[in-house]
Structure 1
Amino acid sequence: MFTVSGTISRIFSDQVLAYLRSQYGDKNQKDLPCPGESVQYLDDEYYLYISDFYQFLNQAELYTNNPEFAWEVYDDFDFRNMGILGYAIVNSTTLQEAIAVACDYVLLVQSHTEVFIRPSQHHSGCFDLCYQVESGPLACHHDTHMSLVFFIRLIQVLHDSSWKPILIGLNHAERSQAIADKTGVNVVTDQDYNFITIEKDVLHAQVTTSDPRLFDIMHANLSEKIAQQAETLTFFQQLEEAIFRLLSDDECNIDKVAEQMCMSRRTLQRRLADYSVSFSQLLDNVRRHYACQLLNQTSVSMNEVALTLGYSELAAFLRAFKRWYGISPSEYREFILGERD
């Protein structure tokens, strides 16, 4: 199953870059990985395509030569650096309220994502804070680890700096023992969701930095931002999915896509013009995102990838991939296979 890769806030890539600069400042700064271009249809330029973000995280592993770097990114993090979101978090009344604010934000900025709290399936009287990205083969374990440690750090900052989860759960087994050694927490693998287990009294703990008046202001602003962007994100996700359905049929033009969207060509052009986005830009982005998902399927040949993406010749796909990511599709596939070993 293939999914549109969606978006993610630059807040998270900026934090990774800050970590790389602070921990590896002696390395050539010109070699720092690049987070990728901003999403054109979100005009505040605070968002990346998540496929670009995953590439960025993989490059960060190569840059640091540290497969567990994602567990260190938030060691010295100040949540107020996140702007409205950060101030809403630190001024929440309880930890549960702070986590709920963060979850709402993640659900907006990182589409195809689930994040929620449920009663623990392993420890009575506790709760699991679950996180999952539904991006099939595109999903990146660095993102999972970074997201889990984000919430761990949130609880440590607002509640107790020495706090650790009761349990860490992962839906994969990659580097699980290394994570257990690094965190001092038992790790279980092959779970239905990635999660950290939190005690009930911790979840309901009061936040000492809380300012209810400031929280109300920040939360209202954040809610307005979420409402404004949700409609835009939904429209472009549907549009990108329509483009992908037509890619391999030699019919991927603006007229066919408009028909798939149940609107006229003129209406679609007007909607795109409202966001200063061209149809050719969208087509290129969809090909770029799906290329990685297809390459992760090792049973799919390079020619089949090119044809699925609507290229009549393999050479055209090879040139495009090199332009997108700076490496060849073969080099990308070798890197992914190396990660799985």
Structure 2
Amino acid sequence: MNETYLIRSAALQGFSDLVKSYDGEPAELLEAVGLSFEELNSKETLISFLAVQQLLELSANKLNVPGFGLALSQGQNIDMLGQLGLLMASCKTLKDVMLSVQRYMSLHSPAENWVFSEVNNLVYITRFEYEANTVPLKQIKELSLGVCFKFLQLFIGLSFTATRVELSHSPVSELKAYRKIFKVDVQFNQEYDQIIFDKKYLQQVVHLDDQNRNEFLEKYIDNAVSATDYNNLERQIMGLLIQYIGSENASLDNISRKLGMNKRTLQRQLKTQQINFKGILANIRGRKACWYLSASEMSITLISEALGYKDVSAFSRAFKLLYGTSPSQWRKARGEFDCEGDCVATGVGE
């Protein structure tokens, strides 16, 4: 699977001004990752998601601003989301807003998936990437969660407070920089990137709008989504596996139920489209493992549990089969081994 994932160039709203504020040259940074001012100024242009990630990392390093992603998040407004932003603004409650984002995120960033869930009295907003990088590209994660938190404050008001904010990597800035943005102490080296808050906010009215306008907008967006190639079977399976990786739900039985079909029907479709379910699962597990090993300080035992292996030995065997070295050796080498390509295994892991 060598698909190039894309994102609307509006995701870089405020980039040039922020770079200039640190005495940098936006054009040089853009050119270094293969982007241009023309693409940046055309908000609806789809650009490489990987290039955006690399641009943020390069900017943080060249400008010596470790918190570049967080800083960029503070200059972004809801209009950067285009039609998705319009739909969000027309929702009545915060719950409606989150369900809209979960349903239509592919219009803004086909490379990302935001999942909303309720557990007891808490709400979890969790961010997933289809393009799971094996090198520690942390700035895009901090940008995304910073924007998410800012929008929560936009809809609820500055009185909004999170119960917890979690990031899957180790900190790149001083801890006080994170507290300044999120108003709570951020937990690092966690399994997911997510914002957690009290369920009481869900039914809070955020905006009242004409119902007909809302229905028209939903139809418009449904048509736009169906016109893209981002709802194909392979992508849907990837999105579900990314969410459920490490749990019993990352199974063919559960995925078929989530797709609204029985197991045999899904197997027939997979065979017809020459899609290898175990291969997709192995690919996601492998890339996620590399991310944890390079970007976090999680122990190998904890990583194996997070990825759903029955024990560390099973994880080590699967990892070595994919990448030719053990997880601990790969972590020490930090990039000497090639973990960028797709997994070629047809069904690795236990």
Q: Is residue 92–residue 212 contact of structure 1 (8 Å, CA) maintained in 2?
A: no
Alpha-carbon spacing, 1:3–1:169, altered in 2? closer, same or farther (3 Å): farther
TM-score by length of 1: 0.59
Alpha-carbon spacing, 1:45–1:206, altered in 2? closer, same or farther (3 Å): closer
Q: Aligned partners of 2:56, 2:115: CA distance in 1, in Å? A: 24
Q: Give how far 1:125 is off.
A: 0.9
1:191 and 2:195 matched: no
Secondary structure of the corresponding residue to residue 117 of structure 1 = strand
Q: Give how far 1:27 is off.
A: 4.0
Question: Which of 109, 121, 125 in structure 2 is aligned with 1:125?
Answer: 121
Q: Aligned partners of 1:300, 1:147: CA distance in 2, in Å? A: 29
Q: Aligned partners of 1:166, 1:3: CA distance in 2, in Å? A: 38
Secondary structure of the corresponding residue to residue 70 of structure 1 = helix
Map of 2:180 onto structure 1: 182
Map of 2:138 onto structure 1: 141
Secondary structure of the corresponding residue to residue 52 of structure 2 = helix
Q: Is residue 71–residue 149 contact of structure 1 (8 Å, CA) maintained in 2?
A: yes
Letter in structure 1 aligned against 2:141:
T
- Identity percentage of aligned residues: 16
Map of 1:254 onto structure 2: none
Map of 1:78 onto structure 2: 77
Q: Give how far 1:19 is off.
A: 4.6
Alpha-carbon spacing, 1:235–1:9, altered in 2? closer, same or farther (3 Å): farther
Alpha-carbon spacing, 1:67–1:21, altered in 2? closer, same or farther (3 Å): closer
1:203-251 per-residue CA deviation (whole Å, 9 max, x = no partner) reads 22111354433322222212211111135877999xxxxxxxxxxxxxx
Letter in structure 2 aligned against 1:126:
L
Q: Is residue 167–residue 188 contact of structure 2 (8 Å, CA) maintained in 1?
A: yes
Q: Structure 1 stretches of 5 or more lacking a match?
A: 39-43, 238-259, 263-293, 310-341
Count of residues in correspondence between the two structures: 241
1:7-43 per-residue CA deviation (whole Å, 9 max, x = no partner) reads 2221212x1525525744x5445434346459xxxxx
Secondary structure of the corresponding residue to residue 230 of structure 1 = coil
Q: Is residue 91–residue 207 contact of structure 2 (8 Å, CA) maintained in 1?
A: no
Map of 1:48 onto structure 2: 47
Q: Structure 2 stretches of 5 or more lacking a match?
A: 37-42, 237-271, 275-329, 343-350
Q: Aligned partners of 1:32, 1:74: CA distance in 2, in Å? A: 18
Q: Aligned partners of 1:3, 1:174: CA distance in 2, in Å? A: 30
Q: Is residue 169–residue 189 contact of structure 2 (8 Å, CA) maintained in 1?
A: yes
Map of 1:90 onto structure 2: 89
Question: Which of 319, 335, 341 in structure 2 is aligned with 1:298?
Answer: 335
Q: Give how far 1:150 is off.
A: 1.6
Q: Aligned partners of 1:130, 1:235: CA distance in 2, in Å? A: 21
Letter in structure 1 aligned against 2:122:
C
RMSD between superposed Cα atoms in Å: 3.8
Q: Is residue 3–residue 136 contact of structure 1 (8 Å, CA) maintained in 2?
A: no
Secondary structure of the corresponding residue to residue 207 of structure 2 = coil
1:39-62 per-residue CA deviation (whole Å, 9 max, x = no partner) reads xxxxx9721222211111112213
Map of 1:337 onto structure 2: none
